[in-house]
């Protein structure tokens, strides 16, 4: 009998705990407590995945690519590490050189007979 108590110590502890908790607090409390724990077990990984997704999108915005050589930098330096071209001037020039008329598509309506 003593061996059984030593071998199944956790089982006996949890079964006695359940037998004490259910009559005092009720079955509804016990089921709601277990369901809240299970909900947290499912929601915490989803929340962590959401944080990772937001973090990756944040770092995507910080990444600069050099138009001269194609190397990638995290936006910390103003010049390209490989070829030495000024990254800020390239980005500003590309935005200023684009004319709105070149980027929009004009559609001419024709009547089909």
Q: pLDDT of 35-45, one tens digit each?
A: 999 999 999 99
Strands 72-73 and 64-65: antiparallel
Residue range(s) defining the domain that contains residue 52: 1-62
Looking at the fold, whether 27 and 2 belong to one and the same domain comes out as: yes
Reported pTM: 0.47
State the chain's maximal CA–CA distance in angstroms: 99
Looking at the fold, whether 46 and 73 belong to one and the same domain comes out as: no
Q: In total, how many domains does the chain have?
A: 2
Task: Tell me the average pLDDT across 11-15.
Answer: 86
Residue 92 pLDDT more than 60? no
pLDDT of residue 48: 96
Most confidently predicted of 2-11, 43-52, 71-80, 86-95: 43-52
On average, the pLDDT of the chain sits at 80
Does residue 24 fall inside a structural domain?
yes
């Amino acid at each position: 009998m003593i061996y059984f108590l030593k071998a199944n110590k956790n089982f006996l502890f949890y079964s006695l705990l359940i037998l004490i908790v259910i009559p005092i607090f009720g079955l509804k409390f016990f089921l709601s407590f277990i369901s809240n724990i299970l909900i947290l077990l499912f929601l915490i990984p989803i929340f962590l995945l959401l944080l990772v997704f937001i973090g990756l999108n944040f770092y995507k915005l910080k990444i600069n690519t050099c138009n001269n050589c194609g190397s990638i930098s995290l936006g910390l330096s103003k010049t390209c590490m490989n070829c030495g071209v000024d990254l800020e001037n390239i980005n500003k020039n590309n935005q200023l050189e684009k004319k709105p008329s070149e980027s929009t598509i004009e559609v001419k309506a024709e009547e089909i007979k």
